[in-house]
Amino acid sequence: MQAPLLSMRGMKKRFSDVPALVDGSLELDRGEIHALCGGNGAGKSTLLNILMGFIQPDEGEIFINDTRARFANAKEALDAGVAIVQQELSAVPDLTVAENIFLGAEPQRHGFVDFRRLNHEAGELLKSLGYDIDPTETMKHLSIASQQLVEVAKALSHRNADILIFDEPTSAIGEKDTARLFKVLRDLASAGKGIIFVTHRIGEIFEVASRYTVLKDGARVAAGNIADITPEQLIEKMVGTTVDQEFVKQNWPGTAPLLEVRDLTCAPHFEAVSFTLHEGEVLGIYGLVGSGRTETLAAIYGLRQAETGSVSVQGRVLKGSGAGEALDAGIAYVTEDRKRNGLVLCAPVGDNLSLSVLSRAQKWGLLDSGRENAYIDKAVRRMRIHPPNARQLVRHLSGGNQQKVVLGRCLLTDPKILLLDEPTRGVDVAAKKEIYHLIADFVQGGGGVIIVSSELEEILGVSDRILIFSRGRVAAVFSRKDATQKKLLMAAV
């Protein structure tokens, strides 16, 4: 019997006193797309970080083509044929697309980087993937979705890579790019590559993967063929219990205007955007990547300067002086990129949570640690952050728990309005349900929520009304009872 391309056995890893892996195991064959499944905090990222040489295991063995391997750093892993597309973007923002793709492996001529060849090879690679991205464009000028596509191209630039890891590769891209990516994955598998695929979108697992491994609490609890399991059974193995109803809908929107946006324009991103958010309402926004939805939320919050139009909260017109004014008016904002814009990764959970209430935690002009800790404890309990350790560095938390920290900090300000941009991106099914409960509780208390999401099922499941953005404009509005996936997609394109 042929040895597996990759075998990871009995991997163990602790961070301080917190076990991240207690028995992490995975086997990958050539020519297969293998889904690595598990909830947030299950140990998936730790296992992959060990494989890539980013961190060292406490115990365990790695075999590649039946030969023992251990990587002290990422370069050793790449040299051994292991490449990764990470969930959190790792681009160098001030370098070009081409420079990012071939970072550390730039073609040279006479001892200097051959930029002509660099740009040509990057352009050809992007073209072969069907990506309409200029290789000479600076990375920081690209959208999150385009940066994610560049990460895919970067992994595929390592032509000697036999093991390719895709960690949430579709979390920031639209359906068209997702279909294109899946074709690339199937072609790579057909060419004999082994692919580890991580996603929290259960449907994607059954669309593209052939086998699966489930991690829970740092250990492998199940493995097998996708053909032998149902989505419901896979979810049960991941969370340890049945998940009966994913979406939580128990609010009744009122008629009183909470937020009014009138003719808001910020060229070239969006133009003449108008809508009203009512008390107790969840207003969904759906649109393809580049439709102006994210930029509109940023302008409402004061992070982007609108050229014309107005934003009013309960009849009070905001001056557009910045995020501080929006926060004082009762608006809280959860960005789509939590690691870049939502968290201080080198700081503990507690410090991240209390950032929004430092002024309230003061006594006689000085920070009162007792008051601050009371706010922190309240948020940790309310959000059920795991582990419930305020001294834990935020960067060591799973993606879902990092998102809970961002949401918990927002809720400590007692907002009237929540602006949520892709709030469940990179979050497992159980944590998603917790976020949906949070949204439901918030609007039941009279608040209003605007949620931007690329997932049609999510938008349909949580929204009372849905705005469709297309080319920077509100192209259509649907009530909950009239909306269908087909109608939303047709309006978006």
| pLDDT tens digits, one per residue of 43-100 | 888 999 999 999 999 999 999 999 999 999 988 998 899 998 876 667 888 999 999 9
Question: Which domain CATH number covers 359?
Answer: 3.40.50.300
Say if residue 266 is in the same domain as residue 386.
yes
Summarised one tens digit per residue, pLDDT across range 434-468 is 899 999 999 999 999 999 998 888 899 999 999 99
Say if residue 485 is in the same domain as residue 336.
yes
For residue 434, tell me if it sits in a domain.
yes
Q: Domain boundary at 178, 204, 239, which?
A: 239
For residue 245, tell me if it sits in a domain.
no
Q: What is the pLDDT of residue 63?
A: 95
For residue 248, tell me if it sits in a domain.
no
Check pLDDT > 70 for residue 111. yes
Q: What is the pLDDT of residue 86?
A: 78
Q: What is the mean pLDDT of residues 262-270?
A: 93
Say if residue 168 is in the same domain as residue 267.
no
Say if residue 324 is in the same domain as residue 385.
yes
Q: What is the pLDDT of residue 236?
A: 82
Summarised one tens digit per residue, pLDDT across range 366-392 is 888 888 899 899 989 888 888 888 888
* Of residues 289 and 192, more confidently modeled: 192
Say if residue 348 is in the same domain as residue 230.
no
Check pLDDT > 90 for residue 176. no
The CA distance from 417 to 306, in Å, is 20
Say if residue 162 is in the same domain as residue 263.
no
Q: Which domain holds residue 208?
A: 6-239
25-39, 244-258, 406-420: segment of lowest average pLDDT: 244-258
Say if residue 422 is in the same domain as residue 321.
yes
pTM, full prediction: 0.64
Say if residue 221 is in the same domain as residue 270.
no
Q: How confident is the model at residue 486 (pLDDT cuts 50, 70, 90)?
A: confident
Say if residue 64 is in the same domain as residue 203.
yes
For residue 244, tell me if it sits in a domain.
no
Say if residue 202 is in the same domain as residue 266.
no
For residue 247, tell me if it sits in a domain.
no
For residue 1, tell me if it sits in a domain.
no
Task: Using a pLDDT cut of 90, give the percent of the chain over it.
Answer: 52
Say if residue 198 is in the same domain as residue 262.
no
Query: Mean pLDDT score of the chain, rounded to an integer?
Result: 89
Identify the burial level of 43 via C-beta atoms within 10 angstroms of its C-beta, where 0-12 means exposed, 13-18 middle and 19 or more buried.
buried
Say if residue 280 is in the same domain as residue 359.
yes
Task: Using a pLDDT cut of 70, give the percent of the chain over it.
Answer: 96
Q: Say how many domains are in the chain.
A: 2
